[in-house]
Amino acid sequence: MRCGGFSLAVWAGLSLVVVPAGAGATVAVEEPSPNTISTSDIICLARVDRVLGAAPFTNKNPPDVFVTVQDGIKGTQRGETLQILGWVTGAPHWSDVHGLTIHDIRLWESRRTVPPAIGARLLLFLERSGQHQAKRIQGSNGPVFIASPDARTIETVRGAAWLDFTIRPIPKSPRHPVTVGGILTNHSPDSMSFDLRHALTHGHMPTVLEPGERWRPHPPPPIRLGPGERRAYSFHLRDISPVPIGVPGPYSFDIHLPANINGQGSYLSVAFRIDGEIRLRDAAACSWMVFAAAVDSIFPFRPDLGPAHWVSLIDHRFLHHEPHGAPRGYVLSVDWHRDLPLRPIPGRRYIFFLDRQGRVFHVAEMNSANLRSVEAGLAWVEQTMQRP
């Protein structure tokens, strides 16, 4: 979209570990992985009490670290003191060509290891080696632990350790609203809460809005499952989505849930396409900018713009996101693509819906009924953004 003599600028506003897989290939493994969680005898949030050993500390001469359990997620209870044997850092470097050599091991052993600070809070994944002794589980790039974990990370790990969520396949062209559903099973000897407030969702949608820009997640209340309980459960994807869902086109979401999803870890990837006609309420909710204007001039077809006409507009009324710094009396011009449902007629007023890249993705005649639908969509989004 262009404004008079100037252009509107548009700004789009757990660690991965790479391990050798042979034959020159690498595989990205995210920790804590399903294997790390399932093979851990102990998973706990703990506070570091003291470090035992003779400095200088290296991977060949590592200290032991004593911790007190603050939250026993698996295999331990609050208050237990654990001695973590041999606090090393990292792991020997593997070569895709030569594998692990003696030189690699010696080099790793000579490196300095830094124990955690006294009082540090750690999320630990341990193999029990004695009554009150344990070793850290080895991941693909060394021992796995998380320093200063937030509540979401703790609850996601807790859910992945005890809750299974077997999710039904989502159709490639689902009905709206899109529903995620299946069977939740609690394998814990205690009751467990499944709380979607701890879900972390990244979404991409047709009008390329930024997460949180026009929509906020509003997860349903948590549910509680008794020991060994198995229950059908479903939720609407829009309730945990950071972007609005509604206009036709492709969508994709990567969701980190507080449960083990289909036995493959806590990540769920969802891709689908919404088909059908655009509803004005949805178009307004999914737009970066909405305005009404009258067609002033229609310029000849321009091959350099693709299948579009260049149309200048006057008498604008911005319904959402008025551009800042535009001079008085400026003339807007838009690329009127052939895939739009209407054709421009000089003097007639239309409502324009723009995506975040400034492209008109929909247009409707300006009349009282259409205006009410658009205002309802905008009000719906505003209410959603203001809800706690």
38-47, 91-100, 378-387, range with greatest mean pLDDT: 38-47
Name the residue ranges covered by the structural domains of the chain.
31-148, 161-274, 280-386
- Fold topology of 280-386: OB fold (Dihydrolipoamide Acetyltransferase, E2P) (2.40.50)
| Cα 123 from Cα 104, distance rounded (Å) | 29
Residue 134 has a CB neighbour count (10 Å cut-off) of 23
Following DSSP, what letter does each residue of 183-202 receive, concatenated?
A: EEEE-SSS-EEE-GGG-EEE
Fold of 161-274: Immunoglobulin-like (2.60.40)
Number of H helices, E strands in the chain: 5, 26
Distance of alpha carbon 114 from alpha carbon 53, whole angstroms: 12
Average confidence (pLDDT) over 319-345: 83
How far CA 242 is from CA of 209, 212, 218, 234, 274, in Å, comes to 9, 5, 9, 18, 17
Quote the pLDDT of residue 18.
Answer: 29
Say how many Å lie between the first and final Cα of the chain, rounded: 34
Q: Which range scores top for mean pLDDT: 87-101, 265-279, 307-321?
A: 265-279
Q: pLDDT at residue 331 above 80?
A: no
Which pLDDT score is estimated for 139?
85
Q: Strand 192-194 vs strand 230-236: parallel, antiparallel, or unpaired?
A: unpaired
Calculate the average pLDDT of the chain.
88
Q: What is the pLDDT of residue 95?
A: 57
What is the pTM (predicted TM-score) of this model?
Answer: 0.80
Confidence band for 10, pLDDT divided at 50, 70 and 90: very low
CATH assignment, 31-148: 2.40.50
DSSP track, 314-373? EEEEEEE-PPTTPPTT--EEEEEETTSSS---TT-EEEEEE-TTS-EEEEEE--HHHHHH
pLDDT of res. 215? 93
CA dihedral 293, 372, 214, 335 (to 10 degrees): -30
- How much of the chain exceeds pLDDT 90, in percent? 72
Q: Do domains 31-148 and 280-386 have the same CATH topology?
A: yes
Tens of pLDDT along 294-326? Answer: 999 988 766 665 666 789 999 989 999 988 766
pLDDT tens readout for residues 110-166 = 999 999 999 999 999 999 999 999 999 998 788 999 999 999 999 999 999 999 999
Give the percent of the chain with pLDDT over 70. Answer: 87
Least confident range of 125-129, 234-238, 331-335? 331-335
Q: Which amino acid is at 196?
A: L
Q: Which of 16-30, 66-80, 299-313: highest mean pLDDT?
A: 66-80
pLDDT for position 16: 29
* 198-226 per-position pLDDT tens digit: 999 999 999 999 999 999 999 999 999 99
Look up residue 353 and give its amino acid.
F
